[in-house]
Amino acid sequence: MRLPRKREACSVKLPSTINPMHAELETAKEILAEVFGVRSTDVEEMIRRRLEEISWSEERLWPERFCLGE
């Protein structure tokens, strides 16, 4: 019977053409998917819905009517 091999940590080097913020966002999505036990597409949907909620609440800051004066 063979014993399973130990996994060795390896450092991954990203190409210099990748935007570091994009890579950070993708990593955050992967972490959220793992923490919540969902697919990455579900995480993207959660983010999209949250952004819609934020933009809806920002729209509500404006008055319903606007009058230039009398």
pLDDT, residue 56, reads 60
Q: How far apart (Å, rounded) are the C-alpha atoms in residues 16 and 23? A: 11
Domain boundaries, the chain: 22-59
Average pLDDT over residues 14-39: 86
52 falls in which pLDDT band (50, 70, 90)? confident
Average pLDDT over residues 40-56: 84
Ordered DSSP codes for 26-49: HHHHHHHHHHHT--HHHHHHHHHH
pTM for this structure?
A: 0.49
Average pLDDT over residues 47-53: 85
